[in-house]
Chains A and B, each alone.
Chain A
Amino acid sequence: MTTTIDTPAGAGEAMVLNMGPQHPSTHGVLRVALELDGETLISAKPDIGYLHTGIEKSCEAKTYSQAITLTDRMDYLSPLSNNLCYCLAAEKLLGLEVPKRAQYVRVLLAELTRIASHLVWLGTHAIDLGAMSVFLYCFREREEIMKIFEYVSGQRMMTSYFRIGGLALEPPAGWLERVKAFVDAFPPHLKEYEDLLTENRIWRVRTMGVGVISPKDAIAWGVSGPSLRAAGVAYDVRKYYPYSSYDEFQFEVPTRTESDCYARYLVRLEEIRQSMSIVKQAMAKMPAEGPIKTDAPGIVPPQREKMKTEMEALIYHFKIFTEGFSPPPGQVYQRVESPRGEMCTYMASDGSPKPFRVKFRAPSFVNLQALPLLCTGRLVADAVACIGTLDIVLGEIDR
């Protein structure tokens, strides 16, 4: 929160305009200091930190299991992706293998999260550029996904459903029917959005050729996710470093080469289709029964029934929830493809029950850094399109 702009020498015409921290198109609490010549941007400096809550510091004061709830609150539009990234890192540190059924449930829910997140992006991006009805439609469909999350985990948003070693609890009976109902009903809605936007003249003028970044710059500045793939770089963590059985699924990684706001729109829409396909495959693969937690006494809480009959199970339960468990000393790095890009958890253990260090690589943090490259030299209105197209969530930027 320290960004200042000095008035450039000799440029008496330049004006500094603060966009945010309270501004509807900054999608949270972001301030961008715009330096203007007339209505043309000479520079744009993002200023972040307004939502900093010290999540990484808090992780060090909690046991490995307790810290999961903090991850929900970073990228609040895709909590399950964060849960997954954190749990996979802890599992790698512990050397745990998660049962297949739990892996498929994770994949299915992570892809539903991606769809929900892209819907929020599409709706808010469209409303920023003046298309009101798309926003209402997107939130209508997102609500159906939220209902599935609530049915499965008990929470719409702060799910904390993935736990170290598997899932929090057995998914309720009939949950797959609800997923199927959504998957069946969704494709016509997707077409509705496309009918409203893809050939819409205003939409095309506002997004085509706006916010272009070269593939070389995108890599150098660490841009990831749909924004990188719209520049023609097919880096998708699910393909590069498969996790949670993603290598068993058939899906394409959509790319474009135009690298403008419109290309990023097309990439995200295609990603929604690919996610739908993965969800269907996961439903087909899903065993009807089977363990949802790995068998690791002392790390994964025992079943309730066992606690009533077995002394050891009761002891483990008590120990897990009082002192936690202690992974061996070491450090791991886990990458996942969140809806916003490459989400990573760096976790270091010193052999105590609390993490020595947890660092989250928030894709929005890195993508936002490239904002000046996207909008310098363009109009103020284009800055709104550029911020929207990066799909940032300030919760994970500031952590």
Chain B
Amino acid sequence: MAETVETKVNPVAARLTAWDSGAIAGTETYRGELTVTVARENLQRVASFLHSDPELEFDYLSDLTATDHLPNEPRFAVVYHMLSIRHRHTLRMRTWAPGTDPSVATVTTIWPTANWHEREVFDLFGIRFEGHPELTRILLPADWEGHPLRKDYPTEGHR
């Protein structure tokens, strides 16, 4: 997806780049919202820094979800929305996962609330979260076939 890039230095982006510019694959701002793209292998390290750094202190994970960019590769984006109760700044973090056997590392060790969100993404997108304590379907029955929010899953379901 092409995004309009606005030129404005965001303190959160500046702090992240100053910490480790190599860990951040890209930043963009759209409608005043900052998106930081992180490589899959750096996800837990960056998330842990976002959570623990006193200047950032993103202690509240609002939610996490995914988007399916079929037929592009990497196919899936996993998107995290967080805020800091103390500093009041917000952030969207995004990482990419391939179409075949998609998986990303869990963030339940950093934000326990990610537990159900990750189960939901697993259920509806089929993305595995490595290290999740109980990665099972949450909304659909255990014997359901397929992952409805994938773009190749018809809205009417499989007949």
Contact = CB atoms under 8 A, between A and B. Distances in A.
A52 B141 CA distance: 10
B157 to A, nearest CB: 9
B141 A331 contact: no
Contacts, number: 110
B149 A48 contact: no
B85 A330 contact: no
A18 B103 CA distance: 33
A2 B155 contact: no
A366 B63 contact: yes
Interface string A159-203: 000000000000000000000000000000000000000000000
B115 A369 contact: yes
A369 B85 contact: no
Interface in A224-253: 233, 235, 240-241
| Secondary structure call for the B interface | loop
A335 B139 contact: no
Given A56-B124, A219-B85, A222-B111, 19 more contacts: A2-B137, A48-B139, A49-B140, A52-B140, A222-B113, A241-B88, A329-B2, A329-B3, A330-B3, A330-B4, A331-B3, A331-B92, A333-B92, A342-B62, A344-B63, A359-B65, A366-B116, A369-B116, A398-B139
17 contacts: A52-B139, A57-B148, A219-B85, A220-B59, A220-B113, A221-B113, A329-B2, A330-B3, A346-B65, A348-B1, A350-B1, A356-B1, A357-B67, A361-B62, A361-B81, A365-B116, A366-B63
Interface of A: 1-2, 48-49, 52, 54, 56-58, 60-61, 92-93, 95, 219-222, 233, 235, 240-241, 328-333, 335, 342, 344, 346, 348, 350, 356-357, 359, 361, 365-366, 369, 398-399
The 5 A-B residue pairs whose C-beta atoms are closest, nearest first, are: A222-B113, A49-B139, A361-B63, A2-B142, A359-B65
